[in-house]
Structure 1
């Protein structure tokens, strides 16, 4: 049997296959008023199509734990009950298709208050429903971006509480997997990296101090998330700085990722979603098919924490090889699932696997 279509069990949850959908922001929610951050028909159709296409697990896009935690004013949120009700409609449909619903809980940190990508992605001001971002240190992401407010220790504790409250709401919304977003230069990743964290208190300086927020968020979420359900963490395995001899900037490294993975596992994380980059502008990223897979493979080889690989995974044979070689426990597809919502079904036909097929499609597939 194809490794890609073997079920995968974490705690008491079994995902029907190893073809998973990576979180991809849609920037399509209302930006203000009572429906700010609320999922709508676009989100329902978007996620529903991939579920009907046989995807085993769908991680709903970065969903903000607070209004100021959004990347853009049009991001999804999970800080109120109206948002929960709309997400419940989506999780309910995903389950009818045999797909496991997951959600990525996020705080954008200093990269918040920016416009939709198709409008340039630049910073938006208060007159455009923007706000001042929050960060570990008062360092803007790049020239022209907002100067963030440096969080106080009391405000950091508030953020930890926001993640816990969001996890409670995620459970109420029907999700079976929660992923904490610690990657791509958003708030938790900003605390991890010495490139963005210049603090001198207990949340800055040493590896242990820079990791403190990540572990506090994990502990707070694990305390409210059911024991029988898995908790994921997304990491940027490297900032692509320290390991690049042509870049003199200091950042988060693959060695740091392996070290943190062991800590995350000890604190109750069940799987590491291994990505890279996003923290430092103009970092030289070495891209190519499966370019982030070696980072996932290293975590899997050097720790006992399961991993999912992501990044330019497009071909069924490529995905199968990653699993068969023991480089990852699952693959997360992004853009390829945008191009082909039924990628899992096509891959199953090619590799000899099975996926759930909607009754309505039985005569057509």
Structure 2
């Protein structure tokens, strides 16, 4: 199920994203985004990660409500917003919790010059901790800085909030809401390959240059071909007569159709090699091969005449023309002594 969230949904699958990434309290959230200049979807991204949209949940650290506000943080925000007679019991009210949480994340974004990773980290661990980490890693790109956050919880939290945000933004505006980056995928790319796009990462610290974008490749399965390193494996069905008498057949390759001869007496699952028909090696020179696995098909729905001919063939051939089965039964006889 998680793999399905790594790519934009099809029209038929969009409903699943809508269920997994709900957008409650739409009016209040839109108002907060406009009031504090928040990126569209950020409040939802935080709310989903913080409380799973439970307005009355209280954490072990005493964080309360939709945006999981610590009472002392909420009191400070209420004072800056000049909310009269604020009571922390009101944090279980969605309206109050969203108002204070939206103000607080907006303040963090301003504090950290609009950096979403830094603001998200500060929301979880506090701005003082993040400021200390910045001093210790000021020469790192933002993505590297996130990877080196010393708190496991905060490091995971930042990644999840940003992933939530990307999906909420896609739900808001489709492909147009997500920046497209040109990417050249090298021939022979395999699952797990990491590609770097320079300068397309998060903005740098204190006005510095942006970091880099790293993209991990996942190769979708193919209906005909299986990959084995740089080699390709493909199963091709042949008839009994083709396998018995030999034939020249056409097989699919990555480069189009190719002719291949199968000798008389070919057994099912026999492998044939087509040299140079595999994938290029992306790390060194050379090209893989394609292996064709022959699968002999047994006919079904025989006519009376076909059955008659096969029975005649069986009568004439006996066992001497079936080397595999003859060898198998010889081994069985030896095993049981006779």
Q: The TM-score by the shorter chain falls in which range?
A: under 0.3
When normalised by structure 1's length, the TM-score is 0.24
* Bigger helix fraction: 2
Q: Which has the larger radius of gyration?
A: 2
Q: Does 1 or 2 have the higher relative contact order (CA < 8 Å, sep 6+)?
A: 1
